[in-house]
Structure 1
Amino acid sequence: MTDEETTDERPCGRVFLLARLVFGSVLAFSAIDNLRNLDEKIEYAESNNAPNPEQTVPFVSGALLFGSVGIMLWRLPRLAAISVLTFLVGVTPTMHDFWAADEDQKEAQMVHFIKNLGLIGGALAFLAHGERDRR
């Protein structure tokens, strides 16, 4: 295997591990926080007119926890990345709709929205690496 094949086919060992740990731990923290403060998160989702928050909030928070741990451990990486993407794609426009926010919340919601777009990009990169590992 040449150096070119190594960089094209396999993620860079330590750097990739660090990226997985940082990305996954941030999202795991968020998922655990959601699950520990479920009533508060459900109430917030209700205030944003999220569909069926009593069912969806625990479910998507569990999916986020599964996905973040899966990415950190690199177990079922495609499914883990899809779980994270499902959470982020569903939550981002619903919970951080800065375009509909009050003026005092508009900037904060835009920051959360843009941050989540960056996380979506990271999850897509992990999904791509998971696809490569599958071959």
Structure 2
Amino acid sequence: MSETDVADNGTPSRFGRLLFAGGLAILAIRNLTDLEGRIAYADAKGVPSADRLVPAASGLLLGGSLGIGTWKFPKLSAGSVAAFLAGVTPVMHDFWAVDSESRDAELTSFLQNLTLLGAAIVFFRRASEN
């Protein structure tokens, strides 16, 4: 069985986990290295206590992505990523509530996050089966 196949113990593909987790970790690190900008954007979207929630949510995403990549505490890790995406996506990418100039970009971000949420749910389910 190759590294990219599902192992006998039900652990998802290492390559797939690393692709998913690596992308999410980079997003989290980008958030954490530009906290002022991310907090300002969240404030503009009406997020309460953005100065505390943005770093906390970004940490949740980073921790969850690292856990999925290493398959350590996979249920907690996938749940963390799913919680981040479920909470952030409708608030930060509210394509239905923005002007027509921003609508396409917000819709694209919304759909990308929805896709990532689906993958996080798959990882959560796999972790729950083991």
Q: Same fold (TM over 0.5)?
A: yes
With over 3 angstroms needed to count, the CA separation of the structure-2 counterparts of 1:79 and 1:25, relative to structure 1, is same
**SS of equivalent residue, structure 1 residue 49:** coil
Amino acid at match of 2:92: M
Q: 1:49 corresponds to which letter in structure 2?
A: G
Please state if 1:77 is matched with 2:74.
yes
Where does the alignment leave 5 or more consecutive residues of structure 1 unmatched?
1-5
TM (normalized to structure 2)?
0.91
Q: Which residue of 1 aligns with 2:30?
A: 33
Q: Give the residue type in structure 2 aligned to 1:115.
A: Q
Consecutive aligned runs of 4 or more in structure 1 exceeding 6 Å deviation: 6-9
| Alignment gaps of 5+ in structure 2 | 1-5
How far has the Cα of 1:102 moved from its partner? 1.1
Figure out how many residues of one structure are paired with residues of the other and give that number. 125
**Residue 56 of structure 1 aligns with which residue?**
53
What's the CA shift string for 1:77-97, capped at 9, x where partnerless? 000011101110111000000
Structure 1 match to 2:3:
none
**Rg comparison, structure with higher value:** 1
Structure number with the higher helix fraction is 1
The residue number in structure 1 matching 2:10 is 10
Partner of 2:101: 104
CA distance in 2, matches of 1:7, 1:57: 36
Which among 74, 83, 86 is matched to residue 86 of structure 1? 83
Tell me what 1:3 maps to.
Answer: none
Mapped to 1, the partners of 2:83 and 2:123 lie a distance apart of 14
Length-normalised TM-score, structure 1: 0.88
Deviation string, structure 1 residues 52-105 (Cα, Å, up to 9, x no partner)? 100100000000000000000000000001110111011100000000011110
3-state SS of paired residue (1:50):
coil
The offset of 1:9, in angstroms, is: 6.6
Aligned-residue identity in percent: 42
**What letter is aligned with 1:60?**
A
